[in-house]
Amino acid sequence: MRYLPKSPADRQTMLRDIGAKSIDDLFAPIPPEYRLGRDLDVPRQMAESEIVDWFRQRSGENGSEFTSFLGAGAYCHYRPVIIDSLISRGEFLTAYTPYQAEVSQGTLQAIFEFQTMISELTGMEAANASMYDGSTATTEAVLMAMRLTGRRRVVVARSVHPEYREVLSTYAYPQSIPIREIAFDQHGRINPSELESAITPETACLLIQSPNFFGTIEDVAAIAEITRRRGVLLVVSIAEAVSLGIVEPPRQADVVALEAQSLGVPLGFGGPYCGVIATREQYVRQMPGRLVGQTIDRNGKRGFVLTLATREQHIRREKATSNICTNQALVALMASIFMTVYGKVGLRELAKQNLAKAAYACQQFSKCAKILFAPAPRFNEFVVQTKEDPHVVNSRLLGHKIIGGFPLKKFFPELGNAALWCCTETVTRSAIDTAVGMLAESEADEPATEAEEVAL
Amino acid sequence: MKRMTRKATRHVSQNEGLIFEKSSPGKAAWRLPPLDVPEANPASLLGQAEREDLGNMPEVSEVEIIRHFTRLSTWNYAIDLGMYPLGSCTMKYNPRVNEAVNRLEGVANVHPYQPEKISQGALAIMKTLSECLIEITGMDAITLQPAAGAHGELTGLLLVRAFLESKGRPRQKILIPDSAHGTNPATAATVGYAVENLKSNSAGMVDVAALAAQMNEEVAALMLTNPNTLGIFEKEIHTIADILHSKGGLLYMDGANMNALVAKVRPGDFGVDLMHLNLHKTFSTPHGGGGPGSGPVAVKRALEPFLPRPVIVTKANGTLGFDYDRPQAVGRVRAFYGNFGMFTRALAYIMANGPDGLRQTTEDAVLNANYIRKGLQGAYDLPYPTASMHEVVFSDKLQAKKGVRTMDLAKRLIDYGFHPYTTAFPLIVAGALMIEPTESESKEELDLFIEAMRSIAEEVEEDPTAVREAPHSTRVSRLDEVAAARKPVLRWKKASNS
């Protein structure tokens, strides 16, 4: 086996030194009746070339070379080449969690820089070293708000990503945390009067997303005015991090939960991604997840360590702020490199291109279909309502190497034949024009019947 | 440093400040293509929501970024540099073909919501891996959704709760041995269970009589690591399972130490009802400086209806798809389907090994641990003489007499060119040295490690102060963690000029 660095002679020598007759002696603690007396039924040992071939075939079945209008929590932005060059360095790729600071300063300083950049980007005072993904970061942010307030009720906007809400409900259920969902108005945004009535003295926090699941930017300042007056914390989830290049960050929030996938992380069929929580300085001791802090060594030299570990499971066990153990260090590093490449000016220009593409697409689509929630500001996503079922539309678009918008019927049946379209900087004008053209054709005709075969 | 080490030599490494300290206006590492649609006017599109300023985000050139991160990387220890004997962490070699296949265009750039028709390759990767892991664990069904080991534990206990609820009520307690990882009790609390400690016996195993006495109809499950954190196989595992089952409880196995078992014995065959795996341990996906991981949960048939949504199914027309119509599901524990990038790597690892390679891997992992145990006996105290599987736990009892503790010994190991072992864990051993070499170490590397550890033991006798002040050869000496926690500095700030 090519990964094992021992010759048969080495093994014999080692067994002899140990004083074992054969390798079976070392497995004697396992009662014989449970030992597996056969080969595992898994693929036979394959050559590297065979493995590459197998995955190439799978890769081919996934249909590349499509132009995609999908967003909905996972965004296709261009990834600068140096991201993979740098994260492929074995010293980053194959290092463990930096508990031993003296031999982990590289990872630790990189995380400290990540925390700084995320703080700057979100307009918060501090950020953690990253979490599993946006959905779990959002859920952990809500649990954090409950610890901070000592209250148990949560109000959640229905315009938060449906899968994020499902994760929150999954975590909330065993702890019997009551969740009140509030509807969106005709602009796809939170309805302030419904918010007022949903908040009670037991409410710990309000969770919103901005840009929300429909791509609409919430009026965070106005919402924060309500939450502050009513004494509840405001948790803002952000799924499209590139928006922060041009959209004012939710500075009035108490906790921000960000999905950093947009910042240089491959789509990768949904993961690994990179969640992160940012908050005010006064709240960091209730923040879950790893944190890197600056300190000095015995000679007064600057260095970095994992800090505030007394919040964490390996010290506090069942009294920890969370059971979380890992962060997503290597994915956070991708995000750090992406943010460094684009930087202060580039992030704004990148976001501006997204804004322009979506604005153009929206304008074009509005000629043949209805744009829902149109008056509210948006970043790079918008909802198109058609006469025809979007699955049918998409099925036709696929033939032209275009993946259409995400049909919303599964999550929001009340919106009818609506789909969520996303235009990042990678979408060309000609792809937009083609998609609009095909939509216009079908919208002019009679609506397709249910009998027509649906690709999904 | 009086003694010379054969493993490492000091060399020059570059100094490097924070990226923000290199930034100055006008430098850039990016260029966008010309816009092919009309320019947007942010003020009119966004109004008050327009952002004017990005604060202290850096402005640097590409070569500076390459040098910055490359310099930082050279300050890290890594598997690629040598043995990483962290107990319970299974720091094995991370094969590069795993990285290569994960970066194939049609693997890396698949959108999670793209139509299933053009996601068949991704679904096939998940399906094939699922089948392999089910076979390896001896279980009946699996979810790949959890993003890490602790996330797998959480999913597992949600399944326990849902299963017991379907039988009447969720019960109140989880039993956890005193040798368990901290994530176990933290997870139990997250899922709304009270934690009851289970004492180990003098051999370092579950005290079966105590378990029988503590087991009652309020206990939902026992969370057991096997081999446990002392590296000892729980011989009476089936009796343990019987005790749980006789009162309607479940046996949850923490698969952190699965590297001792693969292809030799299957948890499903010794009474385990559900368990999580750590793909970043047993199945060679890289740790990446602390993540991403992946923590699939494998279950017996009775728990299958409760698995998180969605599950992969083969449709009537023979294609693969996701089934969301799972009325008894616990919900979902993260968005989309899990850390897919880790699935490709784990599957590539299984394919590179095959059944024979997986078995040889496990045998070598156990051989290596026992070789270290033999090599260090006498130099270090071995608190539990019970046979070791893939890891061995010593204590600092002999060295503590000279005022040298496990952390000091670990830090001194750095000067010898090794990463430290796991210190002060498990908690049932005072001053633990927890050592797991994995199968990836050659006899030469193990001999160097043993030599280094024996040399340090001698140094403790000759010059304990030098060991207490180690490491002596690193860029930074021991860092002031107390100061870091007392007044946390968690970000760079322009004003502080630091």
For A24-46, how does the pLDDT look when each residue is reduced to its tens digit (9 = 90+)?
999 999 999 999 999 999 999 99
| Cα–Cα nearest to B490, from A260, A284, A316 | A284
Which residues from B are below 8 Å from A267, CB to CB?
108-112
Over residues A248-259, mean pLDDT: 98
Measured between alpha carbons, how far is B488 from B498 in angstroms, rounded to an integer?
14
* Per-residue pLDDT reduced to its tens digit, B358-400: 999 999 999 999 999 999 999 999 999 999 999 999 999 999 9
- The pair phi, psi for residue B117, each rounded to 5°, is -55, -35
Q: What is the pLDDT of residue B291?
A: 92
CB atoms within 10 A of CB B21: 12
Domain locations in chain A? 67-77+344-444, 81-339
* Per-residue pLDDT reduced to its tens digit, B450-486: 999 999 999 999 999 999 999 999 999 999 999 999 9
- 3-class SS of residue B142: strand
Over residues A208-230, mean pLDDT: 97
Per the CB < 8 A criterion, the answer to whether A298 and A114 are in contact is no
Measured between alpha carbons, how far is A63 from A60 in angstroms, rounded to an integer?
6
For domain A67-77+344-444, give the CATH superfamily.
Answer: Aspartate Aminotransferase, domain 1 (3.90.1150.10)
Residue B477: closest C-alpha in chain A: A297
pLDDT at residue A324 is higher than 90: no
Measured between alpha carbons, how far is A212 from A383 in angstroms, rounded to an integer?
12
B6 reaches A (C-beta below 8 A): no
pLDDT at residue A450 is higher than 70: no
Measured between alpha carbons, how far is A90 from A95 in angstroms, rounded to an integer?
7
pLDDT at residue B135 is higher than 90: yes
Measured between alpha carbons, how far is A238 from A243 in angstroms, rounded to an integer?
9
- 3-class SS of residue B314: strand
Q: Dihedral, CA atoms, B141, B146, B149, B151, nearest 10 degrees?
A: -120
Amino acid at A223: I
- pLDDT band of residue B87 (cuts 50, 70, 90) is very high
Over residues B135-152, mean pLDDT: 97
Amino acid at A232: V
Q: What is the pLDDT of residue B1?
A: 53
Over residues A303-312, mean pLDDT: 88
Measured between alpha carbons, how far is A274 from A134 in angstroms, rounded to an integer?
7
Can you say whether residue B292 is alpha, beta or left, with left for phi > 0 and alpha for psi between -120 and 50 degrees?
Answer: beta
Per the CB < 8 A criterion, the answer to whether A71 and B116 are in contact is no
Alpha helices in B377-415 (DSSP H): 397-400, 406-415
Measured between alpha carbons, how far is B349 from B286 in angstroms, rounded to an integer?
11
Residue A46 neighbours by CB under 8 Å, 6+ apart: A54, B351, B352, B354
Residue B185: which of A94, A318, A430 has the nearest Cβ? Answer: A318
Q: What is the pLDDT of residue B301?
A: 98
Least confident among A13-17, A190-194, B6-10, B436-440? B6-10
Q: What is the pLDDT of residue A441?
A: 85
- pLDDT band of residue A405 (cuts 50, 70, 90) is very high
How many helices (H) does chain B have, and how many strands (E)? 16, 12
Q: Is the dihedral of CA A40, A42, A46, A52 positive or negative?
A: negative
Q: What is the pLDDT of residue A451?
A: 40
Which residues from A are below 8 Å from B412, CB to CB?
none
Q: Bigger pLDDT: A321 or A54?
A: A54
- pLDDT band of residue A375 (cuts 50, 70, 90) is confident
DSSP string covering B162-221: HHHHHTT---SEEEEETTS-THHHHHHHHTT-EEEEE-B-TTSSB-HHHHHHH--TTEEE
Measured between alpha carbons, how far is B118 from A398 in angstroms, rounded to an integer?
9
What does the mean pLDDT of chain A come to?
94
B383 reaches A (C-beta below 8 A): no
In the block, tokens 């930017």 appear at: A217
Strand partners, A209: A237
Burial class (CB in 10 A: 0-12, 13-18, 19+), B385: exposed
Alpha helices in B81-143 (DSSP H): 96-102, 105-108, 120-137
pLDDT at residue A320 is higher than 90: no
What does the mean pLDDT of chain B come to?
96
- The pair phi, psi for residue A385, each rounded to 5°, is -105, 130
Q: What is the pLDDT of residue A449?
A: 44
- The pair phi, psi for residue A203, each rounded to 5°, is -75, 125
Residue A169: closest C-alpha in chain B: B331
* Per-residue pLDDT reduced to its tens digit, B96-109: 999 999 999 999 99
In the block, tokens 């991090």 appear at: A241
* Per-residue pLDDT reduced to its tens digit, A333-345: 999 999 999 999 9
Structure tokens at A93: 């790729």
B46 reaches A (C-beta below 8 A): yes
Which residues from A are below 8 Å from B185, CB to CB?
313, 317-318
Percentage with pLDDT > 70 across chain A = 97
Measured between alpha carbons, how far is A258 from A264 in angstroms, rounded to an integer?
14
A-contacting residues in B 71-100 (Cβ below 8 Å): 71-81, 84, 86, 89, 91, 93-95, 97, 99-100
Q: What is the pLDDT of residue B63?
A: 98
| Cα–Cα nearest to A97, from A111, A85, A118 | A111
- pLDDT band of residue A454 (cuts 50, 70, 90) is very low
Measured between alpha carbons, how far is B413 from B420 in angstroms, rounded to an integer?
6
Contact between A17 and B47 using a beta-carbon 8 Å cutoff: no
Structure tokens at B83: 């043995």
- pLDDT band of residue B28 (cuts 50, 70, 90) is very high
Architecture of domain A81-339: 3-Layer(aba) Sandwich (3.40)
Structure tokens at B419: 């990463």
pLDDT at residue B10 is higher than 90: no
Contact between A246 and B352 using a beta-carbon 8 Å cutoff: no
Residue B283 neighbours by CB under 8 Å, 6+ apart: B277, B345, B346, B349, B350
In the block, tokens 């030992």 appear at: A35
- pLDDT band of residue A448 (cuts 50, 70, 90) is very low
pLDDT at residue A452 is higher than 70: no
CA distance A196 to chain B (A): 23
CA distance B29 to chain A (A): 5
Contact between B108 and A266 using a beta-carbon 8 Å cutoff: yes
Report, in this order, helix, strand and coil percent for chain A, each rounded to 5: 45, 15, 40
Residue A355: which of B42, B71, B330 has the nearest Cβ? Answer: B42
Q: What is the pLDDT of residue A455?
A: 39
Start-to-end CA distance of chain A, whole Å, equals 42
Can you say whether residue B102 is alpha, beta or left, with left for phi > 0 and alpha for psi between -120 and 50 degrees?
Answer: alpha
Q: What is the pLDDT of residue A314?
A: 75
Domains and CATH numbers, chain B: 98-350 (3.40.640.10), 357-483 (3.90.1150.10)
Which residues from A are below 8 Å from B332, CB to CB?
163, 166-167, 170
- pLDDT band of residue B11 (cuts 50, 70, 90) is confident
pLDDT at residue B192 is higher than 50: yes
Burial class (CB in 10 A: 0-12, 13-18, 19+), B80: middle
CB atoms within 10 A of CB B323: 12
CB pairs under 8 A between A and B: 688
Peptide bond into B383 cis (omega under 30): no
Q: What is the pLDDT of residue B2?
A: 60
Measured between alpha carbons, how far is B278 from B266 in angstroms, rounded to an integer?
15
Over residues B192-211, mean pLDDT: 95
pLDDT at residue A453 is higher than 70: no
Residue A61: which of B32, B121, B309 has the nearest Cβ? Answer: B121
Amino acid at B440: S
In the block, tokens 């009513």 appear at: A230
- pLDDT band of residue B6 (cuts 50, 70, 90) is confident
Over residues A233-246, mean pLDDT: 98
Per the CB < 8 A criterion, the answer to whether B451 and A15 are in contact is no
Q: Dihedral, CA atoms, A227, A228, A231, A237, nearest 10 degrees?
A: 50
Which residues from B are below 8 Å from A307, CB to CB?
481, 484-485, 488, 490
Measured between alpha carbons, how far is A337 from A347 in angstroms, rounded to an integer?
12
pLDDT at residue A162 is higher than 80: yes
Over residues A89-115, mean pLDDT: 97
Residue B389: which of A29, A92, A357 has the nearest Cβ? Answer: A29
Which residues from A are below 8 Å from B342, CB to CB?
271-272
Measured between alpha carbons, how far is A260 from A114 in angstroms, rounded to an integer?
11
Per the CB < 8 A criterion, the answer to whether A308 and B481 are in contact is no
pLDDT at residue B497 is higher than 80: no
Which residues from A are below 8 Å from B54, CB to CB?
120-121, 245, 344-345, 347-348
Per the CB < 8 A criterion, the answer to whether B299 and B134 are in contact is no
pLDDT at residue A440 is higher than 80: yes
Over residues A290-310, mean pLDDT: 94
Residue B17: closest C-alpha in chain A: A109
- 3-class SS of residue B98: helix
Contact between A5 and B440 using a beta-carbon 8 Å cutoff: yes
Q: Is the ipTM of this complex over 0.90?
A: yes
Which residues from B are below 8 Å from A359, CB to CB?
37-38, 40, 45
Contact between A42 and B32 using a beta-carbon 8 Å cutoff: no
